[in-house]
Structure 1
Amino acid sequence: MRQTKKSHWGEKSVIALFMLLVGQVALAADVLGVACETPPPAHCADGDCAAKTGAPGNVTEPESGRQYYLDYPCDLQPGEDVMFVLNIHGAGSIANWQRHYFPVMDYKEEYRLVVATPSAAGSASMGGGNGVRVWTPQTDDAYLQAITEQVTEAFGAENIKSFWLAGHSQGGMTSRRLVCSEFFADKVDGMLSLSGGRIGQAPFVDSFGPHLADGSPPPSRPRGSAEETLPDCNFSHIFAIGEYEIENLPDESPWAERYQCEAREHSQVVDTRPGWVYDTGRAGYRVWGREAAPGTADVYTYPACSNGRVVADVVRLDKGHTEGLEPEVTQRILDLMASAEGGKLQASAD
């Protein structure tokens, strides 16, 4: 009798496992035609990033015909809640470099992440150069909106517990331009600015920017004196920056004041492993092009903000503008993102 019972439960376990695997395969095939992979597709390994960062995306946005990367948990179950991150690169960059600069794709299972990482159309000029890939309203706003709609429809607005714009450099500035726009204001729960400007400005250093072709420092930046206009919609805000990019981090935050947060608290994150990428074309400069390396980051949080908002600053010590984020600091930022109030897209589905 004991043998029969053991055999019966063994059979049920095999059937259950088979049905689970079938369900996962079906879901993977159904999400915009992307077969889920862990590690994610076109992932760097063993120093081969240079050969992979230009790889095209795995999803096509039908209106524009442009490709972007979609990463999501391979064990995702129907009806499960996820955090949606629109991961936006900086000027002159491209989607797969951004995936490795802010490598949240590495933690998609642990944090239940859906990550869309697109490339700008890129024929505009910036800083006097021609053909630099940058985000512009004319070429990219409708595209970013279409990606948001495509991903939201694929995973279900009712299953997206929070939606974050995450942008590096000019991508961070683009996120700030978009966050309170008519399309995004009632959808975005949080904005992560990766070296892209803080609400309550942290002034960039005078020599901020890539060195010129002859190796000379970049020209001095003009100093604006106009009072900062704060965004007029509500969202959580995390600012992450390299120590050598800014003159100083302000002691206070007008965004923390808006949400009546408590006094700032400080902690540190120590990484023993480097990030994946850096700007190899400008290697060796203090602000722009330092090699990816282990490091320590100061984390400043403003606790107990109203309405469940999160306000935080992360300063990566001994870092400049283009060293990819290390694993521990990436996960600390994800912890902060996950702790913030969300639900805008879910509310729209009710």
Structure 2
Amino acid sequence: MKTQMMALAALSALIAGPTMAKDVGGVACTTPQPVRCDGETCIPALADLGNATEAKTGRKFFLDYPCDVKPGEKLTFILNLHGAGSVGNWQRHYFPASDYVQKYRLIVATPTAATTSPVRRWDGTADDAYLQNISDFVFDSFGKTNIRSMWLAGHSQGGFTSRRIVCSDYFKGKVDGWLSLSGGRIGQAPFVKQFGPPKADGSPPDPRPAGANPMAGDALPACDFSHIFEVGQWEIDSLPATSPWAEHYACGPRIREKDIVDTKPGHVWDYARAGYKVWGMKARPGTAEVYDYPTCKGGRIVADVVRMDKGHTEGLEPNITEALIKKIVAAPGGKAQAGGK
């Protein structure tokens, strides 16, 4: 009888199949994910720098991945970079791709910059090797041939950093796409003159000096990748109706998709400085306008997204987050699978 029961249990396990992934690189996969939060409850959680450790530097980062990864399954890898003055766990909630790792088969790595003066920010000398090491960790842990696509996603200075490294020797043969979250557009959408955090009394900052745009006059990138630009309405003077990156890939004329409507707010905002609309209010529901450049060469994705009545620091709402991820997973990949050189 005991033997029969053991056999039945074994058969049931085989029928059910594996439901939990083996811990990857010593990082346990849990449901719900670790250190998740909403609103003001996120404030204490921001001190947590991650559930994973990059071995060469000893620095922490967050690693989120599906708990039921199958051997040989193809996954999309997103390296998610925060902006200046921020940290990894805020970015993890600002652009909450980790909410969708299970549904869209994502690996999301969210690190924190080392430099803290005058504010925390990405620096090539301090951070580039760390970002490369995290990427190597993902490739080694999940298998490079199982990474169907890699994307850089960056908010603000994290977006400028993504643009700086995307065609670097290490990343140019691995990265298939760049999602800029108010972090620069190929074919600039200029920031408004009074862009930035409010003064201590809540009034707008002084106008920015001419030429202060960190990507002004930037040449076209020298490597191939898809590009999505997302921004809040109040951050920019206007959105250009054309794109030099779309022209580069011989895309069709811009078309407007159906608006994305969110009835729920994002997870986070700038808790200390909300109130100046350019910088951002407390997270709220919202509507986003989506513009696509269709039929691009090689199937590349080129798109713009404007979140209406939004500023720089209001966390992305669930529906627009999911819409961006759908574009990411629909875009062509394969660089890492081809060897990643």
TM-score (norm 1): 0.91
What are the Cα deviations for residues 88-138 of structure 1, in whole angstroms up to 9, with x where unaligned? Answer: 0000100110000000100001110000000000233xxxxx2x0000011
Q: Conserved in 2, the CA contact under 8 Å of 1:194 and 1:241?
A: yes
Distance in 2 (alpha carbons) for counterparts of 1:140 and 1:13 = 49
Residue correspondence of structure 1 range 176-325 to structure 2 within 5 A: 176-224=163-211, 227-267=217-257, 268-325=259-316
Q: 1:35 aligns with which of 24, 28, 32?
A: 28
Distance in 2, matches of 1:18 and 1:285, equals 53
CA distance in 2, matches of 1:41, 1:55: 10
Aligned to 2:159: 172
Q: 5+ residue gaps in structure 1?
A: 1-6, 125-129
Runs in 1 of length 4+ with deviation above 6 angstroms?
7-10
Q: Which amino acid aligns with 1:244?
A: W
Measured after TM superposition, the shift of residue 19 of structure 1 is: 5.5
Q: Distance in 2 between matches of 1:278 and 1:47?
A: 9
Query: SS of the residue aligned with 1:116?
Result: strand
Per-residue displacement from partner, 1:267-300 (whole Å, max 9, x unpaired)?
2100010000000110211111311000000000
| Aligned ranges 1:335-350 → 2 under 5 Å | 335-348=326-339
Report which stretch shifted further, 207-216 or 275-284.
207-216
Q: Cα offset for 1:212?
A: 2.2
Aligned equivalents of 1:52 and 1:240: distance in 2? 26
Aligned Cα RMSD in Å?
Answer: 2.0
* CA shift for structure 1 position 151: 1.0
SS of residue in 1 equivalent to 2:98: helix
CA shift for structure 1 position 10 = 6.7
Q: TM-score, normalised by structure 2?
A: 0.93
Partner of residue 4, structure 1: none
User: Does 1:105 find its partner at 2:98?
Assistant: yes
What letter matches 2:220 in structure 1?
A: L
- The AA in structure 2 aligned to 1:208 is F
Question: Which of the numbers 59, 62, 66 marks the counterpart of 1:66?
Answer: 59
Aligned residue pairs total 333
**SS at structure 2 position matched to 1:165:** strand
Task: Tell me the distance in 2 between the aligned counterparts of 1:50 and 1:15.
Answer: 42
Higher helix content, 1 or 2: 1
Task: Give 1:133's aligned residue.
Answer: 120
2:147 counterpart (160, 171, 185) = 160
